[in-house]
Structure 1
Amino acid sequence: MIRFTPPHLPVRRALALATLATLATLAGLAQAAKKPRPPTGSWDAASATATASYNLQPLATDDTVNPMRGYHLWQNQALVPVPNGMQDSFRRYYWSELETSPGVYNFALILGDIQKAREAGRKFAFRLRNMAGYEDENRLYTPAYMVGNPLCLSGCGFWLDHDPANPEKTFIPDWNDPHVIARSRELLKALKAELDRNGVTNSIAWIDVGMLGQYGEWAMKSSVYTSAPAAITPVTLANKREYAKMHFEVFPAQQHVMFVPYSNEDALTYGLLEQTITAKPVGLRVDCLSRDGYFRQWSDRPSHWVPFENQWKKAPFIAEFCPFQTLDPLNNPATARVQAATYHISTIGNGNFQLHKPDAERWGDLTPQEQEDLRMLGREAGYRYGVERTVVGVSNGVLNFSATVRNDGNAPTYEPWSVRVELVNSAGALSWTGLLGGFNLNALSGAGASQMAQASFTLPALAAGSYKLRVIARDTRPSTTASPARPPLKWVNQGIAGDGFTVMTLVRR
């Protein structure tokens, strides 16, 4: 018979302690199974904590290209040399090009231009218009079926002989006629449906609110109506609002801009301050940058400009030139620079000066100072974001990261960007990304305004090797083949290349 005897007290205590330790270990393992396991191996940095400050490029040599700033392609023109290209393009279309008979639309022109823009890495902006200027060409910009249409109260408009010495005439639409307004709205609705059908609506950078006035720019000479039939009068304030409203209702998610003549004060009040249709604040549009005295319509009425003077902080101010000739002492690139700085203009159409000359001569015929003013205008307009300072700490597989970003431009960005921290492997492939929350680049209005954000990240268990740690700003909008997202924002730091700003190298062992 084998007899078991109880162990001595110290032995029993040891067994009890061992049992408790085992139970604790099992409990710990069970608890660990509920949490993500920490990465095996280790991450090393050049130092446990690294603080660095960086230089931004001088304005005088900064040719960084980003969306909705500097120059954009204007009517397929790029008269000012832009070494690194442009990320937006703009065109305008006549109603008669898009609708040939009631409800028969052909948007091949617009779709083709969007496709060209996409292939060049750009987004696209446009305006629709119902007439040109007063060229007396006997040419219709309103569809032919509208002229004398019995559904209109007074023939939908009238022919104007603007120049008695020239027998040709210009058709002036009746902007107040309900049928003209209704068909204008149907044109916008048909265009929106076609863009949606082709999946390219998100390729739109902005829409000029048009369809009204010469060139769709919301201006008409008052003298026009001295020759009009008695029933046709200048457009009413209520109908001006209606033309703006139809754009907003058909394209509620797009960025809109409205023309700024003082005569549009009521429509601007509606579009910028009162309407609640659009998802984005409506911006401003000027068609006569460089014309001396053009802004006096507002600067001479400062109290009237006050409601709109800070709209640039939340929506873009977009411009194109009025035609100017070389050696003009008043209407010139230097005047344009002052206007752009004063009113915080972000992007300018790259054309529409030195008219009546071949494109190849328009730039070369300018004086060296005029050329330099135009180059500087492109550098000064819009935002200039750079990484000013970073602090990096790596310990036990945890990355502590902070960055300070500064805007040295004259305006903010108006598109959505997320600032991220990323690891890129030795082959250049993105291996990991983390959101650096707390940044709002849209709130950095320029003039050196800065913002700092920080976050902690548990680094992933990647393969052993060296990884570049970078800070990058990415477009947050969905990307599709038909409507790709913007490329990453380019910082204006000195000595950087590529999409992201490399801060340091981390090593995974």
Structure 2
Amino acid sequence: LYSGGLTNIVLPTAAALGTAGMGELAATNTCHDRQALFFRVRRVPLSQPLDTDGDGLDDVFELRHQPTFNPLDPSDGTQFIAAYHPTEILDGDPLSPVINADIGPFSKAGANTFPIGESGKTIQHPLRFKRVVWSLLETSQGVYDFSQFDSELAIARSATGLVWWAVYNMKGAGANSGTWVPPYLAVAPYGQMVNGTWLPDFENAFFKARFAALIQAISNRYAHDPRVYAFDMRAWGPYGENNTWRGPNNNLPPYSVSDQTKRFYIDLYRSAFPRQQLFVMIDDLYTVNYILNLSSTAQPKPIGLRADSWGNSSLDSYPAQFAAAYPASSALLNDRWKVAPVGGEPWGVGGTTASLFLAQMSRHHAALMANGNLGSPSDWSSSDQAAFRAAFATVGYRFAISEVTAPRSVRAGGGLRLTVSWLNRGVTPSYRPWRVEWRLYDWKGTLTWSAPSATDLHAVLPSTTALTVTDTYALPAIAAGCYTLRLAVVDPEGTIGPMALAAYGRVPDGSYNLNTNGGAVWIDVLPYSPARRSESATERLTHHENSSHKNSWAALLDARKAEGLHPD
């Protein structure tokens, strides 16, 4: 309801939720010194509420939580609000890097070649990469042995971790590399032995059918296990890296793979592992262009990119090479890190420059990086080792909280507004659908209330500018008392533990205290009081017009004493 003069009916005067029958709007806030007063009624959809008093709480929320809130009182949204600033864990701190199973440096075959984090400290990452050759998985036609995968999965379960797998059907292109296909396929016409290396015929219909049967068998056994996080889409060329390299001194004869066959292998993996994070090797430009242009309907989870040449200058020249072949898709390639992870492993000793490896982490937004191919620490100088440690600490996201605001006091059954300001100090967003939760713990440490935040961490891109999210809730009628406010970032599937943030204050259940240096934030919950016409002393204070009382914590304590409540 608006009031005013005949040509200026703009002052909000009353508000009420609509009813099925006769409703009433009572003008109580006219503030007009005139004899003639005119009124205007406006109907507003519940799904598109206004914030008439501009206090950050929409009118529908405030109407549903009267008398604690009033849609025409701007002061009730800011009463007794305090700001807190959690202490951030910076790079180089003893707790750096921040380790999470879905991001960062990961173990290649369980090895930790280099310490990651502070010098001399080794951290076992909970993501394990395992590659298994086809001949070990299929001992004879249609007979499978998945014991290696089972073993890795058991380790992941015991460590609350994840696995990333790959299947190889060809070894390297050098001489005497042997064969990685089952014996029944290591005969003509399914390929040829050249200088001691088996070169499969990747176009052969039977070869393709048997590889498809293998991938489907793996899918049937593991695709529904949430710990199987990722799968490489390896299918042709040396090490399945989607290239036709002939090896040193052209050890292998020229060979090619048709575009139709390239699509066949990609679509095979897409069909077999719809819930896993898939990665395609970037070597073949056609294949990369194909996956970049898949619609979100055809591929709901965007396919990630993998390069095994990090630390080498060839990786920096790749975007220009791709743009020359597929200019219309160049922007899709450059922005791929925003929707899907980019990762891989270093080129290796002799092809990796440590300082370049470090620079490429942020330049190409590395999300996952294997710690293999680097030999031993003695192969590198102390400055190179420091660069590797810094690079592994840089990989992936790194979420910090710059500020939290919360009321010092709320009433059980009333409204609760909380804000959190997020910073991403890393180089990628989060690609997993993490859920941010607010939690209240009673004086015994028992979780009493929790609710999801509207925060979407995938939208928190690397930036020096914080993204602030405001959440409003109707607090249930919990017992009065002093509660600790914490925040947790949890895996909706419950597969892995709560996310590690770049913040002090983590407690055993994975949630975080939100004050400086890991200290607690306390909220005083007042007794539940059903809506009534008479206001309590605390509510009178909340709606008091005297500005000297509006932000007075001492005045709130006096009000609690007037109600016969303990001020603590």
Specify the TM-score bucket, using the shorter chain as the normaliser. 0.7 to 0.9
Matched, 1:407 2:427: no
In the alignment, is the contact (CA less than 8 A) between 2:308 and 2:344 conserved in 1? yes
Alignment equivalent of 1:155, drawn from 179, 182, 189: 189
- Relative to 1, partners in 2 of residues 1:214 and 1:51: Cα closer, same or farther, differing over 3 Å? same
Partner of 2:219: 192
1:374-403 residue CA offsets vs partner (Å, 9 max, x unmatched): 111112111111111111123322322111
Partner of 1:98: 137
Partner of 1:132: 171
Shift of 1:136: 3.8
Q: For 1:70-469, what aligned pairs fall within 5 Å after superposition?
A: 70-82=104-116, 83-137=122-176, 139-148=178-187, 155-161=189-195, 169-195=196-222, 201-222=225-246, 233-261=255-283, 264-274=284-294, 276-300=297-321, 302-303=323-324, 304=326, 305-324=330-349, 331-354=352-375, 362-393=376-407, 394-397=409-412, 398-437=415-454, 439-462=455-478, 466-469=482-485
In the alignment, is the contact (CA less than 8 A) between 2:231 and 2:276 conserved in 1? yes
Distance 1:457 1:226 in 2: 67
1:253-285 residue CA offsets vs partner (Å, 9 max, x unmatched): 211111112xx1111121221265432011100
- Relative to 1, partners in 2 of residues 1:426 and 1:63: Cα closer, same or farther, differing over 3 Å? farther
In the alignment, is the contact (CA less than 8 A) between 2:174 and 2:248 conserved in 1? no
In the alignment, is the contact (CA less than 8 A) between 2:171 and 2:238 conserved in 1? yes
Distance 2:114 2:316 in 1: 24
Partner of 1:359: none
Which letter maps to 1:474?
V
Matched, 1:500 2:511: yes
1:194-251 residue CA offsets vs partner (Å, 9 max, x unmatched): 125xxx621122111112211121122247998878xx94111221111111000111
Matched, 1:50 2:72: no
Shift of 1:55: 4.1
- Relative to 1, partners in 2 of residues 1:226 and 1:287: Cα closer, same or farther, differing over 3 Å? closer
Which letter maps to 1:342?
R
Distance 1:454 1:409 in 2: 23
Q: Give the SS at the match of 2:270.
A: helix
Distance 1:301 1:188 in 2: 29
- Relative to 1, partners in 2 of residues 1:72 and 1:428: Cα closer, same or farther, differing over 3 Å? farther
Distance 2:505 2:437 in 1: 20
Q: Give the SS at the match of 2:262.
A: helix
Partner of 1:489: 499
Shift of 1:157: 0.4
In the alignment, is the contact (CA less than 8 A) between 1:138 and 1:171 conserved in 2? yes
1:360-384 residue CA offsets vs partner (Å, 9 max, x unmatched): xx12553221111111111211111
Distance 1:310 1:287 in 2: 20
Give the share of equivalent positions with the same residue, in percent.
Answer: 23
In the alignment, is the contact (CA less than 8 A) between 2:88 and 2:400 conserved in 1? yes
Partner of 1:470: 486
- Relative to 1, partners in 2 of residues 1:309 and 1:138: Cα closer, same or farther, differing over 3 Å? closer
Tell me the TM-score normalized by structure 2.
Answer: 0.70
In the alignment, is the contact (CA less than 8 A) between 1:71 and 1:378 conserved in 2? yes
In the alignment, is the contact (CA less than 8 A) between 1:248 and 1:277 conserved in 2? no
Shift of 1:56: 2.5
Which letter maps to 2:503?
N
1:322-381 residue CA offsets vs partner (Å, 9 max, x unmatched): 1115xxxx7322111122221111111011112xxxxxxx12553221111111111211
Shift of 1:300: 4.9
Tell me the TM-score normalized by structure 1.
Answer: 0.78
In the alignment, is the contact (CA less than 8 A) between 1:65 and 1:85 conserved in 2? no
Distance 2:148 2:242 in 1: 23
Distance 1:249 1:285 in 2: 19
Q: Give the SS at the match of 1:274.
A: coil
For the aligned residues, what is the CA RMSD? 2.8
Which letter maps to 1:266?
Y
In the alignment, is the contact (CA less than 8 A) between 1:344 and 1:410 conserved in 2? yes
In the alignment, is the contact (CA less than 8 A) between 1:389 and 1:403 conserved in 2? yes
Shift of 1:289: 0.9
Which letter maps to 2:342?
F
In the alignment, is the contact (CA less than 8 A) between 1:225 and 1:233 conserved in 2? no
Distance 1:456 1:215 in 2: 52
Distance 2:86 2:363 in 1: 29
In the alignment, is the contact (CA less than 8 A) between 1:160 and 1:224 conserved in 2? no
In the alignment, is the contact (CA less than 8 A) between 1:419 and 1:471 conserved in 2? yes
Compare relative contact order (CA 8 Å, sep 6+) and give the higher one, 1 or 2. 1
Shift of 1:494: 4.4
- Unmatched 5+ stretches in structure 1: 1-34, 39-46, 149-153, 162-168, 355-361, 480-484
- Relative to 1, partners in 2 of residues 1:254 and 1:225: Cα closer, same or farther, differing over 3 Å? farther
- Relative to 1, partners in 2 of residues 1:145 and 1:429: Cα closer, same or farther, differing over 3 Å? farther
Which letter maps to 2:110?
N
In the alignment, is the contact (CA less than 8 A) between 1:64 and 1:492 conserved in 2? yes
- Relative to 1, partners in 2 of residues 1:174 and 1:428: Cα closer, same or farther, differing over 3 Å? farther
Distance 1:428 1:212 in 2: 55
- Relative to 1, partners in 2 of residues 1:501 and 1:107: Cα closer, same or farther, differing over 3 Å? same
Distance 1:340 1:293 in 2: 14
Shift of 1:466: 4.2
Distance 1:286 1:244 in 2: 17
Distance 2:87 2:250 in 1: 61
In the alignment, is the contact (CA less than 8 A) between 1:409 and 1:448 conserved in 2? no
Distance 1:265 1:444 in 2: 30
